[in-house]
C-alpha cells in the first residue's frame, strides 16, 4: 500500500506541474535510434491519428505547452529510467475498478513512449472482458486478439502500426468468454514469452482488466516486470487502493497516473 501511496503522490505532483528532476542513474546506455519496424513483420498500413480523432478520444500527442502531455512525459521518463536500469520491458497497466480512465491512460502513455526516438512500444489489449483500446484509436480492423485466442488467426496478422510504426497495437475487438481462465492459462504465458523473445527491443505495455472486478489481473500480474497504477481522482476509493495493493503484491510499482476523471465524459473514462 505504501508503494502505491508514494506513486500516487508523485503523480499528483506531476499533474500539478511540479515535476521536479527525475533521479539520475550512475550510468546510462548510449542513446540509439531503434529502427521503428524492427522485429514486427507483415504490418498493415500505418493507422493515422487525425486531429479530429484526438479531440474526440482525448488523445494526447505531446503538444508544447500542454500540461497533460508534460505530465505523461514525466511518467515516461521515470518509467524508462526504471526499465533501462533493470533491463526490463513488460509493464502492466491496472486500476482498481471501472471508470477510472485506465485504458485511456494506457493509450496516451503508449503514444508518449512512441514519441521517444530511442524506444518503440507494443500496446496489447488484455482487458478481455471489456476491450476498448481499438475504440480510443478508432482502428479500422476486422479482427484482433480474440481471433488468435480462438485459433482462427495468426499473431503476425493482428499487429496494427499507429501514427508511426514506433507504436504497434495488438487490439482485441470483442469480449472474450472465459477471460479469467484464458489469462491464467498456458496460452497467455506462451504469448507473453513469445512477445518478449520476438520483440525484445520494444517496451510491451499490457492494458489489463480492473483488478477488483475479477481475478484476471491477479493471475496475469506475475508475468509482468512492473506495474503502473491508474487512480481516478474522486472515483477510486481508499479501501480499493488497499485491496489493489494486495493484488499487486511484490511486483514493482514504478508509478501511478492520477486521472482527472471528473473532467472527462463517461465515454472517456471506461476502463
Q: What is the pTM of this model?
A: 0.82
Distances (CA, A) of 140 to 36, 131, 156, 271: 21, 15, 17, 21
Given a cut of 90, is residue 180 above it in pLDDT?
yes
**pLDDT of 102:** 96
Given a cut of 70, is residue 189 above it in pLDDT?
yes
CB 253 within 8 A of CB 221: no
Given a cut of 80, is residue 266 above it in pLDDT?
no
| Length of the chain, in residues | 271
Average pLDDT over residues 137-156: 94
pLDDT tens for each residue of 203-232? 999 999 999 999 999 999 999 999 999 999
Beta bridge partners of 48: none
Given a cut of 80, is residue 172 above it in pLDDT?
yes
Average pLDDT over residues 162-172: 92
**pLDDT of 165:** 83
Q: Which CATH class is domain 2-20+47-268?
A: alpha beta
**Position with higher pLDDT, 268 vs 237:** 237
State the pLDDT confidence band at 145, using cuts at 50, 70 and 90.
very high
**pLDDT of 43:** 57
Query: For residues 269 and 271, what is the distance between their CA atoms, to the nearest angstrom?
Result: 6
Domain limits, the chain: 2-20+47-268
**pLDDT of 164:** 81
What whole-number percentage of the chain has pLDDT above 90? Answer: 69
Neighbours of 156 (CB within 10 A): 12
Task: State the average pLDDT for the chain.
Answer: 84
Given a cut of 60, is residue 268 above it in pLDDT?
no
Query: For residues 141 and 127, what is the distance between their CA atoms, to the nearest angstrom?
Result: 18
pLDDT tens for each residue of 79-132? 999 999 999 999 999 999 999 999 999 999 999 999 988 899 999 999 999 999
Q: What is the DSSP string of 180-214?
A: HHHHHSHHHHHHHHHHHHHTTTEEEEEEPPPTTTS
pLDDT tens for each residue of 9-32? 544 454 443 333 333 333 223 333
Given a cut of 60, is residue 60 above it in pLDDT?
yes
CB 92 within 8 A of CB 217: yes
The strand order across the sheet containing 226-232 reads: 160-162, 167-170, 120-125, 202-207, 90-95, 226-232, 253-259
Amino acid at each position: 500500500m505504501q508503494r502505491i501511496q508514494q506513486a500516487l503522490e508523485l503523480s499528483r505532483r506531476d499533474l500539478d506541474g511540479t515535476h521536479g528532476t527525475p533521479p539520475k542513474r550512475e550510468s546510462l546506455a548510449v542513446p540509439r535510434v531503434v529502427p521503428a519496424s524492427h522485429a514486427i513483420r507483415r504490418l498493415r498500413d500505418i493507422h493515422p491519428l487525425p486531429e479530429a480523432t484526438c479531440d474526440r478520444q482525448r488523445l494526447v500527442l505531446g503538444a508544447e505547452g500542454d500540461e497533460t502531455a508534460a505530465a505523461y512525459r514525466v511518467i515516461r521518463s521515470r518509467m524508462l529510467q526504471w526499465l533501462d536500469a533493470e533491463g526490463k520491458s513488460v509493464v502492466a497497466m491496472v486500476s482498481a475498478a471501472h471508470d477510472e480512465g485506465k485504458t485511456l491512460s494506457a493509450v496516451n502513455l503508449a503514444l508518449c513512449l512512441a514519441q521517444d526516438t530511442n524506444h518503440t512500444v507494443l500496446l496489447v489489449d488484455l482487458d478481455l472482458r471489456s476491450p476498448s483500446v481499438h475504440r480510443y484509436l478508432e482502428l479500422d480492423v476486422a479482427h484482433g486478439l480474440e481471433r488468435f485466442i480462438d485459433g482462427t488467426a495468426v499473431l503476425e496478422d493482428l499487429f496494427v502500426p499507429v501514427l508511426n510504426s514506433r507504436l504497434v497495437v495488438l487490439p482485441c475487438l470483442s469480449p472474450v468468454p472465459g477471460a479469467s481462465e484464458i489469462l491464467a492459462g498456458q496460452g497467455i504465458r506462451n504469448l507473453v514469452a513469445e512477445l518478449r523473445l520476438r520483440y525484445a527491443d520494444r517496451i510491451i505495455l499490457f492494458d489489463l482488466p480492473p483488478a477488483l472486478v475479477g481475478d484476471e489481473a491477479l493471475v496475469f500480474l506475475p508475468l509482468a516486470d512492473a506495474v503502473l497504477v491508474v487512480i481516478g481522482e474522486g472515483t477510486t476509493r481508499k479501501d480499493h487502493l488497499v485491496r489493489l495493493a494486495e493484488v499487486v503484491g511484490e511486483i514493482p510499482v514504478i508509478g501511478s497516473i492520477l486521472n482527472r476523471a471528473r473532467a472527462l465524459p463517461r465515454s472517456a473514462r471506461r476502463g
